[in-house]
Amino acid sequence: MSKAIRSALIVGELAAGQMLSVPLFTFKGTDSKAPTVYVQANVHGAEVQGNAVIYQLMTLLENCQVLGDIVFAPLANPLGINQKSGEFTLGRFDPITGVNWNREYLDHRVDVAAWYGEHQNLPDAQLIQAFKSMLVEACQSKLQQPWGVTTGHRLAVSLQSLAHQADIVLDLHTGPKSCKHLYCPEYDIDSAKFFSIPYSLIIPNSFGGAMDEAAFCPWWQLTEYAASQGRYFDVPVAAFTLELASQERIDMADALVDAKGIMAYLSHRGVIKEVVQPAEMARYGCYLKDYKKFHAPQSGMVEYCATVGQPLNSGQALVNMLRLDLYGSDKAFTPLSLDKDCVPILHFASASVHQGTELYKVMTNVFEL
């Protein structure tokens, strides 16, 4: 039996002096050579399903032989989780700066050529450890800089410092009204087949601000530069964002399905001793350049016709726009469709929209993985 050790990470202070802390749960591994893992959830306040998945994961791990250390950070954004307005949770953006909580991570912008030049004589294992230490120290330096950091940066970089200490990083999110999908870097596309997720967005190996990119991009850059110098090793860090359907929702049975998919990946990577097979299911992908946004051409009340996760043929109804202020004209009720086949992945949560609202995100040029 494995047991989680509880601790806490302080990520800030409120105006009245209360400390903001994130609970941490650590399963200590028995093999120092096994990969280590960091899993976080609820960086966006309304995206709560990741907490259910972490609960199910920890319950499963209690009956496993854990080889590599696993650190869980549920409830990762205590400020965002408590951003409520009536019955709704608003915690997607830092209320002080307006910045997306998931775009506050540190872009290291490492001068890889210079760093590699100073450390190239180290054996692979020591080189990797030195690079990992450099990333963690850069996060700590950012937090301690004399001019201070914003509330959002303090939260994000504190979490990022934990992530940089791991070999595998999983960031658990949800969409507004969404089907399950996975953000997977191009260099690690084969890993998508282990998770119990039907759709994968294949993202470029570049930094766009999110946790997964903050975790893997420096390592991909190091690996690419080393290869240009005739030294070859696999990218040492794997990082993924798992979108676990819709926000403001807890479904424990569905959480168990996703937890088992994560267990299959951890088994494949040698984090746990037990053999866990991935679910037998069809899996599809598209490249990020083919992931399209459809914005409302007019304001109004929206009937969302396309079901997320279900293929939609060109010309089929995507939404119906209702404008009662235009009743009696041909603009009172307007069906809208797309001019190409797609798979709708998520749509806006509200039925009342301004002109320009992002109504749907859809995958195009979808292929089987």
Helical H segments across the chain, by residue range:
49-61, 78-81, 112-119, 124-143, 151-163, 211-228, 252-269
Q: Tell me the whole-structure pTM to 2 decimals.
A: 0.97
pLDDT tens digit string along 316-330?
999 999 999 999 999
pLDDT value at residue 262: 98
Contact 280, 211 (CB under 8 A): no
pLDDT value at residue 1: 78
For residue 19, the cross-strand partners are 13
**Which range, of 20-24, 86-90, 98-102, averages the lowest pLDDT?**
86-90
pLDDT tens digit string along 119-171?
999 999 999 999 999 999 999 999 999 999 999 999 999 999 999 999 999 99
SS3 at position 263:
helix
pLDDT value at residue 2: 86
- Tell me the average pLDDT across 305-325: 98
The backbone region for 309, taken as left when phi is positive above 0, alpha when psi lies in -120 to 50, beta otherwise, is: left
pLDDT value at residue 350: 96
Burial class (CB in 10 A: 0-12, 13-18, 19+), 306: buried
Contact 58, 23 (CB under 8 A): no
Q: Is the pLDDT of residue 36 over 90?
A: yes
Tell me the pLDDT band of 237, cut-offs 50, 70 and 90: very high
pLDDT tens digit string along 158-167?
999 999 999 9
Q: Is the pLDDT of residue 45 over 90?
A: yes
SS3 at position 335:
strand
Burial class (CB in 10 A: 0-12, 13-18, 19+), 342: buried
Q: What is the CA radius of gyration of the chain?
A: 22
Q: Is the pLDDT of residue 267 over 90?
A: yes
Contact 160, 152 (CB under 8 A): no
% the chain with pLDDT above 90 = 98
- Tell me the average pLDDT across 225-253: 97
pLDDT value at residue 107: 95
H or E element at residue 325: none
Average pLDDT, the chain: 97
SS3 at position 52:
helix
Six-digit token string for 49: 């399903």
Angle in degrees, 0-180, between the axes of helices 124-143 and 151-163, rounded to the nearest 10:
160
